[in-house]
Homo-oligomer: A and B are copies of this chain.
């Protein structure tokens, strides 16, 4: 059933039906009522394809996120959820595109076939061909994260440098002198992931500033890798008393590794990092961490995109967030020097 059918039954022209429904032109009370009557009776809804073709807008935004290498992290889930709900609030639907790079089929479809009015990009790299490509096309998009050249882009990001530094200062204030850094997987670091690089930077600089002895590690996005990573850390330097991590998915494994090495948290060993709040609260003891405000970021990204869609020539806007560290239960004062054999007691 189409608009012509409605027009016929209501005894008016198709354009009148269109206007009555869109409200883009005044329609007499009586006519409007008659049309609404027919529409309700038949349960008519205009075809999205036809409308998109006619007015050039799809009322859909694309959400571009990388294909699961290993799998997805909880934070990604939070982003997806918040973006979808924020978009729904603006009456936009969300089309998912698992694309890590510019050349992915799905990404090309999104843009080339004009399936969406705008896009939100996740998992930004410092040099990101997707961002560059969209910028070159002046295609409306907002990044969750920022590249090495964020000046004139649209994005909402986290100040990972600052956050990682805050973690270091927190630990240093507690007296820790030998601290490890647990990053995302090496593959992602090599790919230039923003959070991994800026986080590492912030950690390294702050540690130097405080005169700490540090070691840095990459770690797979899963519990087993986290456990292995802790074993490696304690093997490399049994005197390590704390760690900072960006790797949410490894967190459970990090805790397990510590437990098996008989390092009690936070008595013998402090753990902190940058992690979405609700995941920080699932571990015991709960993680003291800079809480990634994923829901807020997703919402803001959508708001920014909608603004950009409504005002094609608006100047670039962005939000850089620096959430505070939430003090929970995983950090404490550095105790007496841990005995070396506590470290060597690690089980395989």
Contacts and interface: CB of A to CB of B under 8 A. Distances in A.
Interface of A: 43, 45-53, 58, 60, 63, 67-68, 71-72, 74, 76-78, 80-81, 84-85, 88, 91, 93-98, 105-106, 108-110, 112-115, 222-224, 249, 251-253, 255-256, 259, 278, 281-284, 286
Identify the interface centre among A48, A68, A108, A282: most chain B CB within 10 Å of its CB.
A282
Contact of A72 (B78, B91, B105, B256): B78
Contacts of A51: 113
Given A78-B72, A95-B95, A252-B284, A49 B85 contact: no
Number of this chain's copies in the assembly equals 2
A23 to B, nearest CB: 17
B85 A68 contact: yes
Contacts of A286: 223
The 6 A-B pairs with the shortest beta carbon distances in the complex, nearest first, are A252-B282, A45-B112, A77-B77, A48-B113, A49-B52, A256-B284
A53 B47 contact: yes
A267 B58 CA distance: 58
Given A85-B98, A115-B48, A252 B224 contact: no
A71 B78 CA distance: 8
Contacts of A278: 71, 222-223
A131 to B, nearest CB: 19
B58 A81 contact: no
B77 A106 contact: no
Contacts of A81: 68, 71-72, 98
Contacts of A249: 282
